[in-house]
Amino acid sequence: MTDRSTQFWDKVAERYAARPIKDLAAYEAMLSDAASWLSSTDEVLEIGCGTGGTAIRLAPHVARWRATDGSAEMIRIARAKPAPPNLDFVVADAERAFEGGPFDVICAFLVLHLVPDMRGTLQTIHRQLKPGGLLISKTYCFRDMNFVMRRLVIPTLQVAGLIPRFAVLRNAELRRAITDAGFTIEASHVFGTNQHAHYIVARKA
């Protein structure tokens, strides 16, 4: 995460934490599916945990959950929430989050399109997983959106500082990057009405 990106997320952390989940049913469906891939003995790393809501919900299913984010403000808010004892919140960006590995599972919810080098991050994730380990991810693929959103609305919001800079991916490009990093995709879903948020579970061979 760049200094500029960290500053953005620090600035919006309080507003982000107060924002209600837009599609609660879709979020619950994603949590249910993610939990189904977890085991009580798993050591889990989450990169880009934000204010910790997903980590708090999923950590009871595993042995240890290490939730990281590059924004100190996001982690401050996360640490103020009631959380299970096996959950640790750590300030660390996606490039430096892997202390304590290798892991059984690495989660990356709505973060792969935000990292400076997605392919490099995926390769690091692969190295930091145990044999047979899982990557559970959800990623926005903005290049599959219509022209107006992709070329007009999103750049305008970025210039205004209302949304961060991110990689504009196609779903096919995301899937290819995951398999090129050495993973086999085992499941892929779109939960709810947002057809551009792709949930993928991939296994290290």
**Host H or E run for residue 46:** strand 43-47
| pLDDT tens digits for range 88-135 | 999 998 888 999 999 999 999 999 988 989 999 999 999 999 999 999
Q: How many domains does the chain have?
A: 1
Q: DSSP 3-state assignment of 132?
A: strand
Q: What is the mean pLDDT of the chain?
A: 88
Structure tokens at 147: 């022209």
**Encoded amino acid at 105, one letter:** V
pLDDT band at 147 (very low <50, low <70, confident <90, very high): very low
CATH number, domain of 135, equals 3.40.50.150
SS3 content of the chain, % helix, strand, coil (to 5): 40, 25, 35
* pLDDT over threshold 60, residue 151: no
The DSSP bridge partners found for residue 201 are 136, 187
Q: DSSP 3-state assignment of 90?
A: strand
- Domain around 147: 3-204
Alpha-carbon distances, residue 56 vs 76, 178, 195 (angstroms): 14, 26, 26
- Vertex 124: Cα angle to 120 and 125 (nearest 5): 115
In the sheet with 103-109, reading across from the earlier edge strand, the strands are 87-91, 64-69, 43-47, 103-109, 129-140, 197-204, 183-189
Nearest to 54 by CA among 117, 137, 118: 137
Q: Is the peptide bond before 102 cis (omega within 30 degrees of 0)?
A: yes
pLDDT band at 159 (very low <50, low <70, confident <90, very high): low
Structure tokens at 21: 């989940």
